[in-house]
Amino acid sequence: MLHLALDYQLIERVPRIRMEKAELPDPVFLEEEEIDRLVAAVPVEWRLFVLTAVRTGLRRGELMGLRWDDLRLEVERPSLRVQRSVRQEDGGKLGEKPPKGGKPRSVPLTRDLAAALHTARPTTVHRTSLVFPGPLQGYLDHQRIWKMLVQAGKDAGLDKHVHPHLLRHTFASLCYKRGIPPQVVQLWLGHAHITTTERYAHLAPNAGEDLIDLLVSPAGTTTPAAPCAIRGNTTGNTKGGQET
């Protein structure tokens, strides 16, 4: 519009307009007691899906594309590898794409989630089979996931709108509240920029304060520095009435 006004000589130049970035509201998330209520309210066949979402922070499409060979369960530190995301293509068909950001990432698994996944894994499952298959072993439907969570939230008596991304917010929020460093949370969530992860920083305003104690040896043997001798006039007077 401004360029058109310039063409008609209605203005002498197009002004440079600085766009102010609107602040995003603080993310809504579930408290631990609300997580327990939600997991108890979802249908049994959906509980592992919800638990995995809350314990890993995976996006909906990443959960839909998770395969058994992405899991490392028989190791000291269980983990999963996020390598793909299921998204809707032109024409409405679902297909696999690289995860958001284009880079795979690893996410460690809590002991309870690793045990639940190990129990749920069929003994004869093909390693490339989906962990959470839909009808006829295809992909889950986006709308089916959404409707299931909305209904489970109502059945659990939660006063929050429960949807797939809320579970991701919940994972990130609990990480911050437990003192996990932002850079680690960023890697787990697959955020390209730390500023995205820092949306949750208000949940742990004093995070990192205890780390200052690491500068002192555990045995307390660090020798304090000797006080510096003050040179100059011992009477306390300063040159020209000014401190030097």
Identify the weakest region by mean pLDDT among 120-129, 132-141, 151-160, 204-213. 204-213
CA separation for the pair 14, 162 (Å, rounded): 46
Average pLDDT value over all residues in the chain: 85
Q: Is the pLDDT of residue 49 over 50?
A: yes
| Contact between residue 190 and residue 101 where contact means Cβ atoms under 8 Å apart | yes
Which residue's entry shows tokens 């979802």?
A: 42
Eight-state DSSP code of residue 128: T
Does 168 participate in catalysis according to the annotation?
A: yes
> For residue 244, what pLDDT is reported?
44
Beta strands in the chain, from DSSP E residues, in sequence order: 71-72, 79-82, 85-88, 94-97, 105-108
* Residues in Cβ contact with 133 at an 8 Å cutoff, skipping those fewer than 6 apart: 139, 140
**Active-site choice (59, 84, 169, 199):** 59
**Active-site choice (55, 67, 169, 191):** 191
Which value, in Å, is the radius of gyration of the alpha carbons in the chain? 27
Identify the weakest region by mean pLDDT among 48-62, 79-93, 118-132, 205-219. 205-219
Which of 236, 164, 176 lies closest to 206 in space, CA to CA?
176
Domain boundaries, the chain: 32-204
Does 100 participate in catalysis according to the annotation?
A: yes
| CATH fold label, 32-204 | hpI Integrase; Chain A (1.10.443)
**Active-site choice (55, 168, 169, 199):** 168
Does 154 participate in catalysis according to the annotation?
A: no
Identify the weakest region by mean pLDDT among 25-39, 166-180, 224-238. 224-238
pLDDT digits (tens, 9 = 90+) for 11-41: 677 777 766 565 667 889 999 999 999 999 9
The string of DSSP letters for 167-188 reads HHHHHHHHHHHTT--HHHHHHH
Identify the weakest region by mean pLDDT among 43-47, 64-68, 211-215, 217-221. 217-221
